[in-house]
Chains A and B, each alone.
Chain A
Amino acid sequence: MAPSQPDARGHFGQFGGRFVPEALMAALEQLENEYVAASKDPEFQKELTNLLQTYSGRPTPITDAKNFAQHCGGARILLKREDLNHTGSHKINNVLGQALLTKRMGKKRIIAETGAGQHGVASATAAALLGLECVVYMGEEDTKRQALNVARMQMLGATVVPVTTGSRTLKDAVNEAMRDWVANVDETHYLLGTVAGPHPFPMMVRDFHRIIGVESREQVLALTGKLPTAIAACIGGGSNAIGIFHPFIDDVEVQLVGFEAGGDGVETGRHAACISGGLTGVFQGSRSYLMQDAEGQTIESHSISAGLDYPGVGPEHAYLNELGRAQYRAITDREAMDAFLLFCQTEGIIPAIESAHALAGVIKLGKELGKDAVILVNLSGRGDKDVATAAEWFKETGQMK
């Protein structure tokens, strides 16, 4: 199988495409052309690589999580440490790429949406570094859940706009960012933070995150002499997952497993697991799976993780699911939080609650695959931002005093 690439109009099979107001078509074409040119331009690549290495700290290491592995059926668990990036998550990979592209297009202002605040912080960081104006749209609900990240963005010089429409979470922040973009498109780049939205975003954002998988492939081969048995990652929009999956798509013996946010459980309807519990449709610029009712109205998602609390998912994941090349499963809030605590106490690493969904998945996957398995898991972010949410949860469950 060839690595999955979209067709000329950005379709991954029946998914993807461009479902946007005509007013944005010119900007999307410009973005696509600039991106394609930049990806072939050695100067651009050199500048991006330099920033990734000297500013963000790439390559990120692989950690052999021997203690945590005891709880995963004895399988060998290798962590790809995206949490060690500058700003605390994988999000910076894409942000640095798009911020450089913004300058290349001669634009001076970036706008971004954020859920957990990780993409917003990364965007504010890149804007500060490269001298761009930055406005971040964030659901009002999320500004409360992630107050620490709001303060970080403000300190970095960004304007944070709380979004008070709809469910006041990530999807509404995307709507507001789109509205801003259509009105200010001449001088503004919409620095979309995940592999969703209209073409070329799913392809471009994936390409900026492919470095996660490219590095991992070399590192795992060097460490173990073979490819991993399986790769696990959490899925909201799906950027960290596609980044680590994509360089392994041709390696058909490597299982790819994405863990969606199951909230209270997919059967309760209160979740954010679009592939496990959604239907195909068009949402925020592309066709994919989404959480919707019988009338095509978006259903509000639910997850303890602000970063996964999104009723859509990137079109390439929908395609990989349809092909059967990747599997998608749901992890409940409880399972994620149990894994969060276990991981803190066995490895001395506080993971992002998003990443804890992948860790909970790995506990199950390890038991299924057995002790000969090597599972590579994308530890997409660190959990400093989640300490208050987690403390509240563990007090309620009695797991912490």
Chain B
Amino acid sequence: MTSALHAAFGKAKSENRAALIAYIPAGFPTVGKGIEIIEAIIAGGADIVEVGWPYSDPLMDGPTIQKAAEMALENGASAKDVIATVGKVKAAGAVPLVMSYWNPIERYGVERFSQELAAAGGVGVITPDLTPEEGVDWIAATDKFDVQRIFLVAPSSKDVRLEVVANASTGFIYAASLMGVTGTRESVSSHAETLVARTRKVSKLPIAVGLGVSTPMQANDIAQYADGVIVGSAFVKAVLEAVDHAAALAAVKKLAQELKQGCVK
């Protein structure tokens, strides 16, 4: 059976576009409001939603997502909320993934998390600070509960590492567009296209590009060579800059609509 994740990439391809993948931390700004924000993003056209697991030490994130994670944790966001939010993503019609730093998953229990995530309708997990070499238990647990694994490649990855990552991934491959942390950037680095081309040589999995992507024009650039466009900080920023919750909902929906239009090939 094709996973819901691969089906989403397949559908986007048949519509001659890249899939729009939105990242938003669970519990941001609160659990309830966060779910409404995700629903608005999905209404705006996101195909896949990465539910972020807020973490105290997000060393791959820039100031925008750090701020969101801090707010979510202050408002009591927990593992339970991450899993509940996953269920809401599914109910709203998008494919739910979780993106998490490794320690919260390990502390929760690798098997327990895989099992509960799958039961809630979660399809896959992105693990930005877990390399395949350290992921032996993770690979076993996700295989057991049929959870898709998404590892990252970076512009600095040598060919031999691209193969390691490709062989360990099952969902898609997350290509980091630049050397740096999350956050909106003026333009997408030229490294992204090269990286995607290099990764294609070692994998048949879909490849999505993230880090620094915030505008429809950037999405359009990426859609020409990648299967998915990942946007995170721009959604978070829209929420942080909105005057109230209603404005935040409108802003993220509009941003999703514009990005979706940008995803055409």
Contact = CB atoms under 8 A, between A and B. Distances in A.
A17 B134 CA distance: 7
B55 interface: yes
Contacts of A179: 59-60, 62, 180-181
Given A18-B133, A182-B181, A296 B57 contact: no
Contacts of A182: 60, 179-181
Contacts of A20: 129, 131
Contact of A18 (B78, B134, B152, B181): B134
Interface stretch (A23-31, A80-88, A200-208): A23-31
A18 B78 CA distance: 26
A25 B134 CA distance: 12
A185 interface: yes
B174 to A, nearest CB: 9
B106 A282 contact: yes
Interface in A7-26: 9, 17-26
Most buried by B among A175, A184, A284, A298: A175
A388 interface: no
Nearest to A30: B156
A23 B176 contact: yes
B131 A25 contact: yes
A23 B108 contact: no
B232 to A, nearest CB: 15
Interface stretch (B12-20, B86-94, B157-165, B251-259): B157-165
Interface in B136-163: 151-158, 161
Contacts of B66: 165
A178 B156 contact: no
Contacts, number: 114
Contacts of A172: 57
Given A22-B176, A183-B180, A295-B79, A284 B130 contact: no
A11 to B, nearest CB: 9
B56 interface: yes
A186 B178 CA distance: 13
Nearest to A279: B107
Contact of B56 (A17, A18, A185, A298): A298
Contacts of A183: 179-181
Contact of B156 (A185, A282, A296, A298): A185
Interface residues of A, number: 37
A165 B151 CA distance: 27
B206 to A, nearest CB: 18
A239 B30 CA distance: 41
A341 B151 CA distance: 53
Interface in B179-197: 179-181
Interface in B95-110: 102-108
A295 B129 contact: no
A57 interface: no
Interface magnitude class on chain B: 35 or more
Contact of A22 (B55, B105, B106, B157): B157
B133 to A, nearest CB: 6
Given A292-B107, A296-B108, A21 B62 contact: no
Contacts of A184: 179
Given A9-B133, A284-B59, A297-B73, A21 B108 contact: no
Contacts of A294: 107
B57 A295 contact: no
A283 interface: yes
B59 A295 contact: no
B128 interface: yes
B134 A19 contact: yes
A269 interface: no
A281 interface: yes
Contact of A283 (B103, B155, B158, B180): B103
A21 B128 contact: yes
Contacts of A165: 63, 66, 70
A132 B129 CA distance: 29
B56 A19 contact: no
Could you say which of B58, B152, B156, B181 has the most chain A C-beta atoms within 10 Å of its C-beta? B156
Interface in A338-357: none
A171 interface: yes
Interface string A166-184: 1000011011001100111
Interface of A: 9, 17-27, 165-166, 171-172, 174-175, 178-179, 182-186, 279, 281-284, 290, 292, 294-298
Interface of B: 55-60, 62-63, 66, 70, 73, 78-79, 102-108, 128-131, 133-134, 151-158, 161, 165, 176, 179-181
Given A175-B57, A295-B79, 7 more contacts: A18-B134, A21-B59, A21-B154, A25-B156, A171-B57, A182-B181, A296-B104
13 contacts: A23-B152, A25-B156, A25-B161, A26-B157, A165-B70, A166-B70, A175-B57, A179-B181, A284-B59, A294-B107, A296-B55, A296-B108, A298-B57
